[in-house]
Homo-oligomer: A and B are copies of this chain.
């Protein structure tokens, strides 16, 4: 197949688009792969759509190969199933909602657990129809508060979502593993550098949820790894809980004047200055910091909450949000302080927090605050702190929460060593759902004994349009995109470099021969200068660039590898087979070698 650039619907841009801050976004717009239609909503131009469809094909092949069956649901969905599952409300503002002409409520599907559950309920009535795996490649909608990085986090995007249906937990584990294996094959074929991380600790032993993260400094997900092989999204990291401490030797709590110590640093300084400890100085880790936030529940209710954690750590909002999901975290405002006069800003302590206390605000503790540990913390009076306040003896809370930041060097929860941190782009997510949706929508089948049992489900997603951006993000240089062969829109970018008729004729002949050989050829037959053409070729990023130019007079054309930058002159007579070899990663004999043969 030969596509002529003179006819291609394409305009490349030299300047960086004003709204693009990451490389993939800049390059995909500059190279004419996508164009913004509205915030977080993009149109696919011919080159971009070719990449998208190649990725779809890889995903489809691997899903079919694992025995999953392709279906296709509407994107415009009725409210009722999402009401039954609770997600009509839980999704909050992330859901696009609309009404039809009869005033009935609809939504644009963000993901389709409910619809799949109902369809399987309609079709399968016996364990004999299970296990079952279904998938679709479909346009999804989420009204993201902060769409970013072009198609990396859009509001309309293409996802492959799959669902598995099993009669028992063993079956679910097998289905999960089969999807995990298929995902590994897919991401390997896409050429990703990725890591599989735990996304949530297992409720059934083992990991109930994992993410496939493409390694990338611009990724929105932070993950951790240990030398012993532990890997998890930072939101899924659990804090190793230290053993309880014997507090029998700890003196009674005593309140001290600590004027002008509204921060941990000022408090530690005053403590070391005025109340020094014999064996070692006080540090932030000896203080208990109480951070106030507001949870915005899906029904719109605002609930103030206090998080108590060692003073040397900050609250990680994403970890807190993961812990309190589906609630979202908002700031505790001056108005909130005004509504809670028992709170003394800068000196808030357990004395005012939790059930039965002055503020009544729900109080959640970091898991490190185990019974018996003694703390310096606010005394709920201006300029005063309490020392030797012992957890369990002097105060209690309403529960624990995983909200403290995870730091480089923290211990892995499984004892496999210190954690290191990195960032990634979430490309896939596999999840043992269990029976949540089947129960909400009453999906039961007869088991082998003739008993009705609730089906257990898995849910598995891949960001297909996101993959285009993620590949561009990890595979580019300062001159442009560098597509892996499996997803490139064309195999060969053939540049006609010169106006001489014999150059054009040689290029046309070579293009025709490559087309016959089954290669997809982009032929730059425009009347532009070689410089413009080379710049565009590097920007567009086909893996193999062939230059047919002045060398034709000497029977030579040049093959460039876009990724490595290697260039080799090959004999014009052998050019077609040399280019085919290059596109297969085989050695390409240089012209002089060819001549020697």
Q: Hey, which bits of chain A sit against chain B, CB under 8 A?
A: 7-11, 32, 35, 37-38, 41-46, 49, 52, 67, 69-78, 93-94, 96-98, 100-101, 106, 108, 115, 119, 122-124, 129, 132, 134, 139, 141, 143, 145, 155-156
Contacts and interface: CB of A to CB of B under 8 A. Distances in A.
B143 A69 contact: no
Contacts of A134: 9
A161 to B, nearest CB: 13
Contacts of A32: 123
A468 to B, nearest CB: 12
26 contacts: A9-B129, A9-B132, A9-B134, A11-B124, A32-B123, A35-B119, A37-B77, A37-B115, A38-B76, A38-B78, A41-B74, A41-B76, A43-B71, A43-B74, A44-B73, A45-B123, A46-B69, A49-B70, A49-B71, A52-B72, A75-B139, A76-B108, A93-B101, A97-B98, A101-B143, A139-B139
Nearest to A72: B44
A45 B93 CA distance: 31
B96 A76 contact: yes
Given A35-B122, A98-B98, A156 B42 contact: no
A222 to B, nearest CB: 26
A9 B123 contact: yes
Given A32-B123, A49-B70, 8 more contacts: A8-B69, A9-B69, A37-B77, A37-B115, A45-B71, A45-B119, A46-B71, A96-B98
* Closest 4 pairs between A and B when the two form their complex, measured CB to CB: A98-B98, A44-B72, A38-B78, A93-B101
Contacts of A101: 93-94, 143, 145
A76 B155 contact: yes
A456 to B, nearest CB: 17
A108 B106 CA distance: 12
Most buried by B among A35, A38, A77: A38
A532 to B, nearest CB: 15
A567 B393 CA distance: 89
Given A43-B72, A143-B100, A143-B101, A77 B119 contact: no
